[in-house]
Chains A and B, each alone.
Chain A
Amino acid sequence: MRERGISIWFFIGLSLLVNGVLIVSAGVWQIFNPPANPVVLFHLHANVWWGAMLLVFGLIYCVRFAPRRQE
């Protein structure tokens, strides 16, 4: 799929990157503004580290499969 045009892995990277940014942002905001009814295991701040993981993977895929690099 990389012979012509944009790779599917670039689209996947873009999706993970944007979702990661949004989820980390929400998680960080919640650290400073704790909700009245937190989810179970809130103290683990899953949205921060899970979002960060998506963000990093997304970034790697976006760079690795960026359309310009394939030409």
Chain B
Amino acid sequence: MNLALAMLLPERLVRLSAVDYAIIVFYFVLVLAIGWYLKGRANTGEDFFMAGREMTAWIAGLSFLSANLGALELMGWAASAYQYGILATHWYWIGAIPAMLFLGIVMMPFYYISKTHSVPGYLRLRFGESSRTLAAISFAFMTVLMSGINMYSMALVMKVVLGWNINFSIWVSSLTVAVYVALGGLRSAIFNEVLQFILIWAGALLIPILGLVEAGGWSNLKLQIAQNASPAYTHLWSTLGSFHNNPMGIHWTGIVFGLGFVISFGYWTTDFLVVQRVLAAKDLRSAKLAPIIGAAFKMLVPFIVILPGLLGLAVLPMKLTGETMAVATGGHSYNEVLPLMLARYCGPGLLGLGITALIAGFMSGMAGNVSAFTTVWTYDIYRALINKGGSDHHYVNMGRWCTILGVLISVGTAYLVMQFASIMDYVQALFSFFVAPLFGTVVLGMLWKRASGPGGFWGLLAGTLSSIGMWAWVKADHSALRYVALSANARDMAENMYRALWSWIICVLVTVVISYMTQPKPVSELEGLVYGVTAIPQEAEVPIYHRPVFWAIIVGAFFVVLNILVW
């Protein structure tokens, strides 16, 4: 949605009462109070950047999930569910659960035992300075840009839903995040993310409950969706045998290999925004359990995101359309389905809680971006390339200022996007260029001791450049889609998945070839970094119900059952 379109839309979707405003104001006061309270516990680098590495598995796990559960995520996927049906659930289930379990069971020991403070930090230990620098600069740059884009999008949402001034929304929310992260560091970000996670559920869970009551249960809902849209809208897998049989124009190979393997594993196992939360766990068992707890709750998120979108297809009296059509006809767009459902069921008080959930979602995502940016900038760029000899106190101060600077750059990006809306598409595409190859580099580094430093660097660079090349090729010649995405009918999402898959394969191939052509690191230097030469603490003496593997199997079983239930 761009500014011009937002201006043309109806004045506002919902009107808040005094009690709604009281709930929103109380939320802001509370998050600032938490930041103020924690400022005395962020005096050392370990405290400020790693939250003292003392988080329990529950807190690290909920924070791990909350950093990803932004307001745009909530509204965007509810809109996708209205537009594409239950297929949108793939981004929560196969597009997240296997990767989160893999992170907890297989990758976390290496991140944790190496005592790295960041994912680029792991790359330095494993492959050397050049790989770290490439990953750190691309991550830091993209993180603040993405944060700015999310900030702008959220301000637009607040304008459309509540009629709030865009400048007001941008400055109030961003300054609040800047204050509580600069004061309390990662600990404050994590505390607030857990609070925001609870508020998101408290504010959003009522919509599917009341929606199912109105629709007459799941069976009646499916019948109504079949009448209003298509029976294919309530099937998760059975329509994926062909590009033509489903609303998304995607094939199951794209979902399984592109989304379920490369994109999902790339994001959930190497994006420092989420991994940082787990690195703050108090011990290895908590670090392994945290992503598994996150996975269990991630499986439930479709109930507050996808189900409201599906319910909108059945119970809303109007037909939602794309934004251009909505503006032309004076109707509502797909993106408004969640606020429309909120306004449909929620009276005074509940409406304020629902809006607070959206604001909380935005702020948790932004705090995640800012705290991750601060750590990578301070440790992986500033300390590594600019000032190697600073004191711990100096780096903490740098972190505090960097938090404020990161927020200001994000605000600047938000205003830039306001002027040039097309920047948003380019930056979102840019972000996807780095994720898949980075996963190839990290996973080879952890599981293959023969991978060498030059192999890691050139593989990462080749994967990233090939991803950019494929994107530019399709932009310049749309018919190239039949090569990149295997079908001329593929939509944007399908193209993203196949592009990620190819860039991952190229990264892995280049890493393997260059590694065989160059000298590997001595085995003695790989201890704590690579499978086969790292002593991972055994859990034989721990009761089975305390073991991460046990809970990973339980979560995995539920994942399989849920997929079969809506096959």
Enumerate chain A interface residues (CB-CB to B < 8 A): 1, 3-6, 8, 11-12, 14-16, 18-19, 22-27, 30, 35, 38-42, 44, 46-47, 50-51, 54
Cα A25 to Cα B352 in complex, Å, equals: 13
The answer to whether A47 and B202 touch (CB under 8 A), given A11-B34, A41-B213, is: no
Q: In the complex, what residues of B have CB within 8 A of residue A39's CB?
A: 343-347
Cα A39 to Cα B347 in complex, Å, equals: 6
Q: Which of A4, A6, A19 contacts B353 (CB 8 A)?
A: A19
B461 at the interface (CB under 8 A from A): no
A44 and B41 within 8 A (CB): no
**Most A Cβ at <10 Å: residue of B59, B350, B352:** B350
Cα A16 to Cα B30 in complex, Å, equals: 11
The answer to whether A1 and B210 touch (CB under 8 A), given A12-B198, A26-B349, is: no
- Per-residue CB contact flags for chain B residues 547-560 toward chain A (1 = under 8 Å, else 0) read 00000000000000
The answer to whether A23 and B59 touch (CB under 8 A), given A12-B198, A18-B26, is: no
A22 and B23 within 8 A (CB): yes
Cα A5 to Cα B214 in complex, Å, equals: 45
B56 at the interface (CB under 8 A from A): yes
A47 and B210 within 8 A (CB): no
A23 and B353 within 8 A (CB): yes
A19 and B194 within 8 A (CB): no
Cα A11 to Cα B56 in complex, Å, equals: 16
Q: In the complex, what residues of A have CB within 8 A of residue B199's CB?
A: 15, 19
A1 and B55 within 8 A (CB): yes
Q: Which of A1, A15, A24, A54 contacts B59 (CB 8 A)?
A: A1
Q: In the complex, what residues of A have CB within 8 A of residue B55's CB?
A: 1
B22 CB, min distance to chain A CBs, angstroms: 6
**Most B Cβ at <10 Å: residue of A18, A23, A46:** A23
**Most B Cβ at <10 Å: residue of A11, A16, A19:** A19
Closest to B353 in A: A19
B17 at the interface (CB under 8 A from A): yes
The answer to whether A8 and B191 touch (CB under 8 A), given A1-B56, A14-B30, A19-B202, is: yes
B40 CB, min distance to chain A CBs, angstroms: 9
A3 and B345 within 8 A (CB): no
**Most B Cβ at <10 Å: residue of A3, A35, A40, A54:** A40
B313 CB, min distance to chain A CBs, angstroms: 16
B354 CB, min distance to chain A CBs, angstroms: 11
A8 and B59 within 8 A (CB): yes
Q: In the complex, what residues of B have CB within 8 A of residue A44's CB?
A: 210, 213
Q: In the complex, what residues of B have CB within 8 A of residue A46's CB?
A: 206, 210, 345-347, 350
Cα A22 to Cα B206 in complex, Å, equals: 17
A41 and B349 within 8 A (CB): no
Cα A1 to Cα B59 in complex, Å, equals: 8
B54 and A23 within 8 A (CB): no
Closest to B210 in A: A41
B229 at the interface (CB under 8 A from A): no
A3 and B350 within 8 A (CB): no
Q: In the complex, what residues of A have CB within 8 A of residue B191's CB?
A: 8, 11
Number of A-B residue pairs, CB cutoff 8 Å, is: 95
Q: In the complex, what residues of A have CB within 8 A of residue B346's CB?
A: 39, 46-47
B350 and A50 within 8 A (CB): yes
B194 and A12 within 8 A (CB): yes
| Segment 339-380 of B: residues with Cβ below 8 Å from A | 343-350, 352-353, 356
- Per-residue CB contact flags for chain B residues 18-32 toward chain A (1 = under 8 Å, else 0) read 010011001100100
Closest to A38 in B: B347
Cα A5 to Cα B19 in complex, Å, equals: 31
| Segment 48-68 of B: residues with Cβ below 8 Å from A | 54-56, 59
B195 at the interface (CB under 8 A from A): yes
Q: In the complex, what residues of A have CB within 8 A of residue B141's CB?
A: none
Chain A to chain B: the 5 pairs with minimum beta-carbon distance, closest first: A23-B349, A26-B349, A26-B348, A26-B19, A47-B350
**A to B CB contacts below 8 Å, 12 in the list:** A1-B54, A8-B191, A11-B30, A15-B27, A16-B202, A23-B23, A27-B349, A38-B347, A39-B343, A39-B346, A46-B345, A46-B350
A41 and B30 within 8 A (CB): no
Q: In the complex, what residues of A have CB within 8 A of residue B343's CB?
A: 39
B37 at the interface (CB under 8 A from A): yes
Cα A18 to Cα B34 in complex, Å, equals: 16
B344 and A40 within 8 A (CB): yes
The answer to whether A12 and B350 touch (CB under 8 A), given A26-B17, A40-B344, is: no
Q: In the complex, what residues of A have CB within 8 A of residue B41's CB?
A: 4-5
Q: In the complex, what residues of B have CB within 8 A of residue A8's CB?
A: 59, 191, 194-195
Q: In the complex, what residues of A have CB within 8 A of residue B352's CB?
A: 22-23
Q: In the complex, what residues of B have CB within 8 A of residue A50's CB?
A: 206, 350
Cα A15 to Cα B31 in complex, Å, equals: 10
Closest to B19 in A: A26
B348 and A47 within 8 A (CB): yes
A4 CB, min distance to chain B CBs, angstroms: 7
B20 CB, min distance to chain A CBs, angstroms: 8
Cα A3 to Cα B345 in complex, Å, equals: 41
Q: Which of B19, B30, B214 contacts A15 (CB 8 A)?
A: B30
The answer to whether A54 and B194 touch (CB under 8 A), given A42-B347, A44-B210, is: no
Q: In the complex, what residues of B have CB within 8 A of residue A11's CB?
A: 30, 34, 191, 195
A16 and B19 within 8 A (CB): no
Closest to B33 in A: A11
Q: In the complex, what residues of B have CB within 8 A of residue A16's CB?
A: 198, 202
Cα A22 to Cα B203 in complex, Å, equals: 14
B151 CB, min distance to chain A CBs, angstroms: 23
The answer to whether A19 and B210 touch (CB under 8 A), given A1-B59, A5-B41, A51-B349, is: no
